[in-house]
A = this chain, B = another copy of it.
């Protein structure tokens, strides 16, 4: 059995933690990618940032309850916790995603590329 990473329960998802997770443009770009394209392997985001930074950003998003990270053998699969987030903070994710789409793509992802 693969080792499971810790995730907050839906009712423990905290607004401060979610806003803190989403305030970073790299993390918003990751969230936008899984929001629009469905679940992705971590390696899909390696064009965005270095491996170390990516691990850090994915941990921030996972610990805040924004994404779920599933371990499958050597791969980590990232998906959005949309249903739980929408139930807990209705409209928040969509409002942030709309804002994230306004950002020019190169500016969104170039910072630590």
Contacts and interface: CB of A to CB of B under 8 A. Distances in A.
Contacts of A42: none
14 contacts: A15-B28, A15-B99, A15-B103, A16-B24, A19-B23, A19-B96, A20-B23, A88-B99, A89-B98, A89-B99, A91-B94, A91-B95, A91-B98, A92-B95
Nearest to A94: B91
Contacts of A15: 28, 96, 99-100, 102-103
Contacts of A102: 15
A24 B94 CA distance: 21
A67 B94 CA distance: 23
A90 interface: yes
A25 B98 CA distance: 24
Nearest to A103: B15
